[in-house]
Structure 1
Amino acid sequence: MVNVRPEQVRGARAMLGWSQDELAGRVGVQRRVILDFESGRRLPHESTIEALHRVLSESGITFTHTADGSVGVYMSRTAPIAAGTRSKSR
């Protein structure tokens, strides 16, 4: 069983610059599934949680969980460039 929390998904999307629509498309679910999960309204099917974890992990996101119950995410320096983002250099 994969352990992914709503706040981790929100944080991962922010790091990648992805909208809920983009994440939903990559996972193969409707945007409402992402919206409901991130807002805590509904827990998706286990297969959807696993797909969220896989898609985000393959995009350079690492999920963290500590013994005291804290959770987080970080993005690898070698993460693929997120679609729709632009370089800040001029």
Structure 2
Amino acid sequence: MAMTRGQCRAARALLEWTQGQLAETASVSKKTLADFEAGKRTPYDRTLADIQKALEEAGIQFIPENGGGAGVRFKDRSRD
């Protein structure tokens, strides 16, 4: 599932991370992240995967479009 820019912003909000914190954690430039979240451009697939992986490793679960809209939430840690 490809992460949307809205999911990226929502995930950062749940974690209370700045764009700088996510960019550093994902090893991507802050400008790339800011441009993606603002809808100015779509990063390479590998870059998106790195951003999503960083968020998932921090405890975020991505919810695909299923009729109710795509979203994010914290992983259920009791199943880890």
TM-score bracket, normalised by the shorter chain, equals 0.7 to 0.9
Instruction: Give the fraction of aligned pairs with identical amino acids, expressed as a percent.
Output: 34
1:20-45 Cα distance to aligned partner (Å, 9 max, x none): 00100011111101100001100001
Alpha-carbon displacement from aligned partner over 1:1-38 (angstroms, at most 9, x marks no partner): x4100000000000001000010001111110110000
For 1:9, the equivalent position in structure 2 comes to: 8
TM-score if structure 1 supplies the norm length?
0.78
Distance in 1 of aligned mates of 2:53 and 2:59: 10
Provide the residue aligned with 2:18 in structure 1: 19
Name the Cα RMSD after superposition. Answer: 1.5
| Structure 1 or 2: more helix by fraction | 2
Instruction: Please give the TM-score of this superposition, normalised by the length of structure 2.
Output: 0.87
Tell me how many residue pairs correspond in the alignment. Answer: 77
Which 5+ residue runs of structure 2 have no aligned equivalent?
none
Q: Which runs of 5+ in 1 are unaligned?
A: 79-90
Match of 1:74 in 2: 73
